[in-house]
A and B are shown apart, each in its own frame.
Chain A
């Protein structure tokens, strides 16, 4: 269960101040597959950053599974991200010095998996996202869509209870998008993973249990 209360995020100071989130409150139940939609600049990524513990709200509070994450220190938040959250960035955010495989298994390595376990889990997941033959390529040697799928694989490798994905299909054709969305749906069904996904595409709506519409930093009532 994720509960956000009166979330505000103000960027900058003085006259250049931007109110990216303007008092957003929301509740997402465990096992829900939620879509976040809205115009560009409406605050979707900003909201996802808050929920993914990558940024702190200017005011307001977030509690995840009963933990007020605002009270955690940096080290605890890092550990929280590692153990419970998977995050797919809008711009992939792969480690350029690591190849596809290493990027994917790094989080499980940090959790103490042996190299063998890492390799196994990793090839399984790369297979799921359709990147079997690419495991030894560096990010710089892959297309946008391929990098995006590596980022998705990395987010999934630790079997997070909550998956946050910021336009994970932005660079994929409809066939590959469908593969990813089907995978998400399956994980959501099988593992009761909570999934929060930002999207622009109308046809994605059919996958979501519920949609949160955003406009100018606010949740639109529909």
Chain B
């Protein structure tokens, strides 16, 4: 067995060293590209998912969201609950808020959008929205007749540039009328405009919680409390901690809150990914198969001679598998180098998605999986053509 492999290895080595270099380099290159293809697209998709997840946390939900108990519209005695949660170990920020719908009017533009009523100082401890002001300023705790708009909601003078229905390009200092759910309409001066890269934040408006409570006529309530925790990833155990500290309201993790949207996106991406992977692997199989097949057909006579002088078919087949493995090994290394170069390039000038710049996230398991699939593909694509060609009888092979 070992002797056989030694001879097969010897023959493979000579074939590679003395065979056609052009074809060899080309095959290695193709295999390398297939490897890049297997890794790159999924990594970008993972990168997008990571970006969306981070946005959900940073601009929409924090890590945990406390909502009113069943059949309640509001959480009552919010300041008490806030204090309680703030003191739980692992909690770094708590922001009680009202998240509702409202109608915004400016010079004939009427838009319905999300209105978040917040305590600016609390909001800063949970979300990054307050730090994303591009013009003007964010709200201060005493503000009453001021509003901060997401830049998508503020919009553009040129309607065609808008992604969502907008106020037509309003800017800081102008006035917007807000009609609340109870029918009250009040004018607000635009204090600032934010651009966070998150669709939900950039399509919302912000006023102070105090102002909202005075309009609606309620006090010390909220319809959601966002909680930021020290670490991301252990939301479930933090939820239990909150419960053990006596929080009786409903508690969601950010993942649960954004589940539908994200699952849909990731679900469709996974299908794209699967198709891409299968196509890549089929290309790899076909290319290596063709190359090895042409190689063996081209060496028909040689294979006949080898059999004639007493070299078993299995040794000859093995020598072609070794050649395929060589192509696989070098191809993977070449592909790996390519991939590193691409990642380096993307680190310098990232791909900008609507949500912001996306850095590819390379999962080590994906690399392992890709290498294993390519390995299997190479063995099959080396074995089958060699098996076919070595079947021929000796004299016909030698005559050519």
Binding site for B on A (CB under 8 A): 49, 54-55, 74-75, 78-79, 81-83, 85, 87, 89, 93-98, 102, 106-107, 109-110, 112, 138, 154
Is B3 touching A112 in the complex (CB atoms < 8 A)? Answer: yes
* 0 or 1 for each of B315-338: is its CB under 8 Å from A? (1 = yes): 100000000000000000000000
In the complex, B15 has a CB within 8 A of chain A: yes
Instruction: Give the residues from 1 to 29 in chain B that come closer than 8 angstroms, CB to CB, to chain A.
Output: 3, 6-7, 10, 14-15, 18-19
Q: Please, which residue of chain A has its CB at the minimum distance from the CB of B398?
A: A93
Is B339 among interface residues, defined by CB-CB distance under 8 A? no
Task: Give B contacts to A, CB under 8 Å.
Answer: 3, 6-7, 10, 14-15, 18-19, 299, 301-302, 304-313, 315, 393-395, 398
**A67 nearest CB across to chain B (Å):** 16
Pull 27 A–B residue pairs with CB atoms less than 8 Å apart, ordered by A.
A54-B395, A75-B312, A78-B311, A78-B312, A78-B313, A79-B312, A81-B309, A81-B310, A82-B309, A82-B310, A82-B311, A85-B310, A89-B398, A93-B304, A93-B305, A96-B302, A97-B302, A98-B14, A106-B306, A106-B309, A106-B311, A107-B310, A109-B10, A110-B3, A110-B7, A110-B310, A154-B309
Closest A residue to B16 by CB, please name it: A97
| Chain A residues within 8 Å of B311, by CB | 78, 82, 106-107, 110
- Which residues of chain B are near A74, meaning CB under 8 Å? 313
A167 CB to closest chain B CB (Å) equals 15
**CA separation between A74 and B6, bound complex, in Å?**
22
Docked Cα-Cα span, A121 to B103, in Å, equals 97
Contacts of B313 in A (CB 8 A): 74-75, 78
In the complex, A219 Cα to B281 Cα: how many Å?
Answer: 59
Q: Give the distance in Å from the alpha carbon of A79 to the alpha carbon of B312 in the complex.
A: 7
A-side contacts of B6, CB under 8 Å: 109
Tell me the bound Cα distance from A54 to B395 in angstroms: 7
Neighbouring B residues of A83 by C-beta, 8 Å: 310
| A54 and B19 form a contact (CB under 8 A) | no
Find out whether the CB atom of A97 lies under 8 angstroms from the CB atom of B19. Answer: yes
* Cβ distance B186 to chain A, nearest Cβ, rounded Å: 89
Q: Are A87 and B309 in contact (CB under 8 A)?
A: yes
A75–B313 Cα gap in the complex (Å)?
A: 8
Q: A95 to B301, alpha carbons, bound, how many Å?
A: 9
A93 is contacted by which of B14, B18, B299, B308 (Cβ under 8 Å)?
B308
Given contacts A93-B398, A106-B306, 18 further A-B contacts (CB under 8 A): A75-B312, A78-B307, A78-B310, A78-B312, A78-B313, A81-B309, A82-B310, A93-B304, A94-B305, A96-B302, A97-B299, A97-B302, A102-B14, A106-B309, A107-B309, A107-B311, A110-B7, A110-B310
Query: Using Cβ atoms and an 8 Å threshold, which residues of chain B touch A93?
Result: 301, 304-305, 308, 398
Which residues in A have their C-beta under 8 angstroms from that of B312? Answer: 75, 78-79
When C-beta atoms are compared, the residue in chain A nearest to B299 turns out to be A97
CB-nearest residue of chain A to B19: A97
Q: How far is the CB of B53 from chain A (nearest CB, A)?
A: 55
- B3 to A, closest residue via Cβ: A112
* Least CB distance, B277 to chain A, in whole angstroms: 36
Asked if residues B18 and A79 are in contact (CB atoms below 8 Å), the reply is no
- Which of A55, A93, A107, A112: most chain B CB closer than 10 A? A93
Are A55 and B394 in contact (CB-based, < 8 A)? yes
